[in-house]
């Protein structure tokens, strides 16, 4: 009786484990599928912006493969556009490093916020891998979920978005010279349309954002047309305008502890 009883419990244990593994596998597939579904709109948006980047990079003197390699190693639209401009202007490494730091430092804050949303499947290697592709859009979609984020969900949303970013760059770099000039010019301003789509809703809803944006615009115009200031390279202009406008905004509109929480 003891032997048969042990066999019964062993069979039930194995059956329970098998059922648990099947449920876990099903949950993984659902998370990946959901991530891919959420990532498709992001990938479609990235196609147009990275297409514009591919055109711009080749126009600045890079080869198509160099442009594609930049998008493979970086997933930062504003950072890549600014970086290519600095390279085209023969800027220095310090200028490049400072520009990328100012433009991309927001991703560190996004990663810190996203880290509070992930589940226990996120170990250190997973966190490091995911941090490579934390963009404004991926962050916004991920943190808006009603439940915790698994690494399988992030695998789905990042993979399809990353493919869209690289594919758009490849199309722009390889086909930009073949397309009619009117189409290339239209796609070339896509990045500015993306920036407007980011700042205009915030400026419309809150006058504080509008005033900070106006300060940045005024500073940028000064560096464009004032005789002495127009000698400053474009990379440092981005740094100065961004930091100065942000500092003035923080001074005029400080956030107290209760509002911050």
For residues 54 and 176, the answer to whether their CB atoms sit within 8 Å is: yes
pLDDT band at 191 (very low <50, low <70, confident <90, very high): low
pLDDT at 165: 94
How many Å separate Cα 186 from the centre of its chain?
23
Which residue from 45, 81, 35, 83 is spatially nearest to 198, judged by alpha carbons?
Answer: 45
pLDDT of residue 4 exceeding 70, the answer is: no
pLDDT of residue 1 exceeding 50, the answer is: no
- Rounded Cα distance between 166 and 74, Å, is 10
Residue 236 CB partners (closer than 8 Å, separation 6+): 95, 98, 99
- Rounded Cα distance between 169 and 69, Å, is 9
The DSSP 8-state label assigned to residue 19 in this structure reads H
Average of per-residue pLDDT across 175-196: 69
Average of per-residue pLDDT across 45-64: 87
Average of per-residue pLDDT across 196-208: 81
The 3 state secondary structure assigned to 206-238 is CHHHHHHHHHHHHHHHHHHHCCCHHHCCHHHHH
Q: Worst-scoring range by mean pLDDT, 4-8, 65-69, 122-126, 149-153?
A: 4-8
pLDDT at 170: 94
Average of per-residue pLDDT across 126-139: 87
Q: How far apart are the first and last CA of the chain?
A: 63
Helices (H), 1-150: 2-59, 64-73, 77-88, 93-115, 124-131, 136-143
At 118 the three-state DSSP class reads strand
- Rounded Cα distance between 169 and 191, Å, is 13
Characterise 61 by phi-psi region: left (phi > 0), alpha (psi -120 to 50), beta (else).
left
Average of per-residue pLDDT across 64-91: 89
- Percent of all residues in the chain with a pLDDT value above 90, rounded to a whole number: 17
Other Cβ atoms within 10 Å of 47 Cβ, number: 19
pLDDT band at 69 (very low <50, low <70, confident <90, very high): very high
- Rounded Cα distance between 238 and 219, Å, is 10
């Amino acid at each position: 009786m003891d032997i048969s009883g042990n066999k019964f419990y062993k069979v039930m244990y194995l059956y329970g484990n098998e059922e648990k593994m099947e449920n876990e596998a099903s949950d993984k597939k659902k998370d990946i599928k959901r991530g891919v579904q959420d990532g498709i709109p992001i990938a479609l948006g990235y196609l147009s912006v990275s297409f514009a980047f591919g055109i711009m990079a080749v126009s600045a003197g890079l080869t198509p493969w160099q442009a594609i390699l930049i998008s493979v190693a970086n997933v930062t639209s504003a950072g890549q556009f600014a970086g290519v401009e600095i390279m085209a202007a023969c800027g220095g490494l310090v200028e490049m490093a400072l520009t990328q730091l100012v433009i991309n430092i927001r991703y560190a804050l996004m990663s810190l916020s996203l880290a509070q949303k992930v589940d226990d499947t996120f170990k250190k290697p997973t966190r490091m891998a995911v941090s490579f592709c934390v963009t404004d859009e991926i962050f916004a979609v991920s943190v808006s979920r009603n439940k915790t984020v698994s690494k399988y969900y992030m695998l789905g949303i990042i993979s399809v978005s990353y493919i869209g970013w690289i594919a758009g760059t490849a199309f722009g770099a390889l086909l930009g010279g073949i397309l009619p000039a009117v189409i290339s010019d239209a796609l070339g301003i896509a990045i500015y349309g993306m920036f407007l789509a980011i700042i205009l809703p915030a400026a419309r809803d809150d006058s504080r954002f509008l005033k900070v944006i106006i300060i940045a615009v005024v500073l940028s115009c000064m560096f464009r047309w004032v005789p002495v200031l127009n000698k400053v390279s474009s990379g440092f202009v981005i740094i100065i305008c961004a930091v100065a406008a942000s500092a003035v905004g923080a001074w005029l509109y400080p956030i107290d502890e209760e509002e911050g929480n």
